[in-house]
Structure formats: C-alpha cells, structure tokens
C-alpha cells in the first residue's frame, strides 16, 4: 500500500460518501448517514499518513 497525504485521504473520503462535520484542533471529523462511526483524520500540513493509521482508517470506513 502506498502512503497518501492527509488532504488527499480527506478528499477520498468525501468521494466515498463521507461528509465533513467539524474540525477539532488539527483533526477533521467525517460522518456518514446511517453509520454511527466517526472518522478523525489528522491534518498537519500536507504530510503523508503513516501506513498503520491509513490502514486503520480505511478499515473503519469500509474501503478496500
């Protein structure tokens, strides 16, 4: 799996039906209707997400 930037992952979530809800500090919170899960994406400039965090976020978002 290739690392992607935090901002690119946030855009990817939006394309997959997740909606930006709010910002808390440097973390953007995304929600999806009909799903009780919230996803918190750290946005620290344009750094790439670490692979472990990326895999976890994709698993929570049910993205292959």
Torsion sign, CA atoms 47, 50, 54, 56: negative
Q: Is residue 21 part of a domain?
A: yes
Q: Is residue 49 part of a domain?
A: yes
- The 10s digit of each residue's pLDDT in 10-27 is 999 999 999 999 999 999
How many folded domains does the chain comprise?
A: 1
Q: Are the C-beta atoms of 3 and 44 separated by less than 8 Å?
A: no
Q: Are the C-beta atoms of 5 and 43 separated by less than 8 Å?
A: no
17 three-class SS: coil
pLDDT-above-70 percentage for the chain? 100
The span from the CA of 49 to the CA of 44, in Å, is 10
Does this model's pTM top 0.85? My answer is yes
Q: Output the domain CATH number for residue 32.
A: 3.30.920.30
Domain limits for position 20: 6-60
Q: Is residue 1 part of a domain?
A: no
């Amino acid at each position: 799996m290739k690392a992607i930037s935090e901002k690119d992952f946030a855009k990817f979530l939006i394309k997959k039906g997740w909606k930006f809800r709010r910002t808390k500090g440097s973390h953007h919170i995304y929600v999806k209707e009909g799903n009780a899960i919230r996803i918190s994406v750290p946005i620290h400039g344009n750094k790439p997400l670490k692979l472990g965090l990326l895999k976890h976020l994709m698993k929570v978002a049910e993205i292959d």
